Amino acid sequence: METMVTVGEGEVWADDAGGDGLPLVLLHPGVGDSTVWDPVLPALVARHRVIRYDVRGYGRSPAPTSAYSPVRDLAGVLDRFEIERAVLVGSSMGGATSVDFALEAPERVAGLALFVPGVSGYEGLDKGEFFERLEPLAKAGDVDGIVRLGLAAWGKAGGGTPESDPVAAELCRAVLPAWISNIGHQLTGPPAFDRLGEISAPTLLALGEQDRPEVVRCNEEMAERIPGCRLVRLAASDHYPTLREPQHVARLIEELYAQAA
């Protein structure tokens, strides 16, 4: 069931595949919208109740017009579908939101499956060079140039170019308006990196061995800090694991789900 969920002064598009049992909630990365889960969705909905949604400005969700909290929006989606507790599956930006939510409302999180996750409060990610190259492209309105820059940084496993990796290129192109519309609107909560030891839910963290080196280091350090975290290295993945290794990703989600349930 697709619906628009009112959250604060805005709304987000969400989809509930239906079914019984402990739900899976999928949170997409900043380099794609909820369609990034399409390669793994059939395997998951065949066995579970699966909810996914688009962050404000992404996919089918309207751009934000006021400040909003990703954690509050996640809570709003859960409340709309009357979900008291769920397994959260977050990729990159969605992983960061999942971690923040697990720290704020641990009683609502049965398990965490984190793929190439981000985390607030980690100082080892150097985005300076990327944004230095991005700024002139943005000012010139060079969409193709921005897509090429994004794929060179985040899509190395697919060749790093729109020609060699058309699916990732389309995902990247589609989210560019969201990058702009979210500036100054998306609020960040308290830094989470130094609080990872407080996470009590069963956790799996999968990093992409072809991801940016600083992201790999961040993910390794996150896994070390989260109690009992299972670290998995995806040899063929960059920052798009659901595109590169969908069957492996689906299997890891199932394994974490079994542990959580």
Domain count, the chain: 2
Name the β-bridge partners of 206. Answer: 115, 232
Question: pLDDT tens digit string along 45-86?
Answer: 999 999 999 999 999 999 999 999 999 999 999 999 999 999
9 shares a domain with 55:
yes
Residue linked to tokens 């909560």? 189
217 shares a domain with 99:
yes
Q: Specify the CATH number for the domain of residue 88.
A: 3.40.50.1820
HSE-CB at 125 with a 13 A cutoff on CA atoms is 21
103 shares a domain with 80:
yes
113 shares a domain with 195:
yes
Q: What is the pLDDT of residue 126?
A: 62
141 shares a domain with 22:
no
What tokens appear for 219 in the block?
A: 């993910």
C-beta of residue 244 within 8 angstroms of C-beta of residue 165? no
165 shares a domain with 49:
no
248 shares a domain with 173:
no
Which amino acid is present at 241?
P
Q: What are phi and psi of 199, to 5 degrees?
A: -70, 130
Of the candidates 136, 162, 181, which is a domain's last residue?
A: 181
101 shares a domain with 38:
yes
Among the listed residues 7, 13, 1, 5, the one whose alpha carbon sits nearest the alpha carbon of residue 186: 7
Q: Who wins on pLDDT, 12 or 123?
A: 12
Is 127's pLDDT higher than 70?
no
- Sheet-wide strand order for 230-234: 2-7, 10-16, 50-53, 24-27, 86-91, 109-115, 203-208, 230-234
Question: pLDDT tens digit string along 250-259?
Answer: 999 999 999 9
Query: Which range of residues forms the domain containing residue 146?
Result: 128-181
117 shares a domain with 136:
no
10 shares a domain with 106:
yes
Q: What is the pLDDT of residue 238?
A: 97
Question: pLDDT tens digit string along 16-51?
Answer: 999 899 999 999 999 999 999 999 999 999 999 999
Of the candidates 138, 157, 181, which is a domain's last residue?
A: 181
Q: How many CB atoms lie within 10 A of CB 3?
A: 15
H-type alpha helices, 182-230: 213-225
159 shares a domain with 49:
no
164 shares a domain with 47:
no
pTM to 2 decimals? 0.96
Of the candidates 165, 181, 197, which is a domain's last residue?
A: 181
